[in-house]
Amino acid sequence: MLRLRFLTRVCLRVSGALLGLGLLAYLVLRAGPGAVWRQVHEVGWGLALIILLGGLFQLLRACAWRKTLMCDIRGLSWSRSLGIQLASDACGQLGIAGKVLGDAIRISLLGSTVPLANGISACAIDGGLHTLTAALVTVLGIITALLLAPFPGKWRVDGLLLAAVLSALVVLGAVAVAKRWRLIGRGARAIGRLHRLRDWISGKQSIIDSAEHNLLDFPHEAPAAFWAILALDFLWHALAVLEVYLVLRFMGVRIAVVGAFALEGLTKVINLVGAFSPGNLGTYEAGNMLIAKVFGVTGTAGLTLALCRRARAAFWAGLGVMCMLVMKRAEVRVLSVPNELAPSFAGKVQE
């Protein structure tokens, strides 16, 4: 039975990825491969700048994550931290399941350097705060887009409704952290009452409670680190806006920074909608084309913007896979060393 469920999930994910690739191919053919290539050619060396900007994305995320580790991390070098961040982010490109896998890999690559409980808590804190800031930026982006772009009446209503829901969630999250309300644990227990999910939830309830406990206590126990992480996350989102602005300007599109901010806010809505699609393939590109047209930019430019950002993500994901393989191979070498030499060898690997 378990084997059948596993095969069903794999088939669904593979089918979703193939459909996404098919949609992406259709979008490129509809826009015209020649037109897309001309737009990419206009970006030119700017693509290298965008890829370098991606390195700053990863550095900011690694710095924010390190601040969530409430323990002695003198044994965790910056180079290894960045490698772990790259490996985790590479898995995160595959959607929600990939993000869960990425956190698991992040924890496993820490090894004995960081206690397991601290590693799990750090993932919960880092992910929770980043999601909170992303929701706030999304709300502001939607409101800005509604003020700038001539959306149809129905779209305006849907946009306002989505902004209201996200605003409520942001406020609820902020109040929950301030008052230490254990909403996630209670919600998990409520879901666990369902017969089909009872066994699955009960096996993870202790982990959920522990992660939520650390998340709610973190701002009170480490206020300086808490505000520093928020600042780093907002800076990360600011770089994402800068990325949109630069790519469009390289293509000759005249757009203000506030317009790029609105585009980025709506792009986060696309990421939210396509989170269950493997890699958000196809849906991400289609959404960018649709948003670009609303702002008076050609669909081809919107598609090229999406492809440039995906190229940046693919480049750093490739480096992440390489880092993961190197670190895993180093762990295997440590295990193969005689016991009396293993501690000194492990220290050299960490360096």
Structure tokens at 85: 């961040």
Taking residue 239's Cβ as centre, other Cβ atoms within 10 Å add up to 14
Residue 91 lies in a domain: no
Residue 73 lies in a domain: no
Residue 324 lies in a domain: no
Here the contacts of 249-253 (C-beta below 8 Å, separation 24 or greater) are 250/42, 250/43, 250/44, 250/46, 251/39, 251/42, 251/43, 251/301, 251/304, 251/305, 252/42, 253/297, 253/301
Tens of pLDDT, residues 197-213: 666 666 666 777 777 77
- CA 196, CA 214: separation in Å to the nearest integer? 29
Residue that wins the pLDDT comparison between 256 and 274: 256
Spell 274-311 as b/e; 16+ CB within 10 A means b. beebbbbbbbbbbbbbebbebbebbbbbbbbbbbbbbe
Residue 346 lies in a domain: no
Tens of pLDDT, residues 49-83: 999 999 999 999 999 999 998 878 888 889 999 99
Residue 104 lies in a domain: no
Number of domains in the chain: 1
Residue 338 lies in a domain: no
Residue 7 lies in a domain: yes
Per-residue pLDDT band at 104 (split at 50, 70, 90): confident
Prediction pTM value: 0.84
Tens of pLDDT, residues 8-18: 666 766 676 77
- CA 215, CA 208: separation in Å to the nearest integer? 10
- CA 287, CA 270: separation in Å to the nearest integer? 6
The one-character DSSP state at 255 is: -
Taking residue 182's Cβ as centre, other Cβ atoms within 10 Å add up to 17
Average pLDDT of every residue of the chain: 82
68 close to 225: Cβ distance less than 8 angstroms: yes
Tens of pLDDT, residues 224-249: 999 999 999 999 999 999 999 999 99
Q: Range of 297's domain?
A: 2-46+116-315
Residue 196 lies in a domain: yes
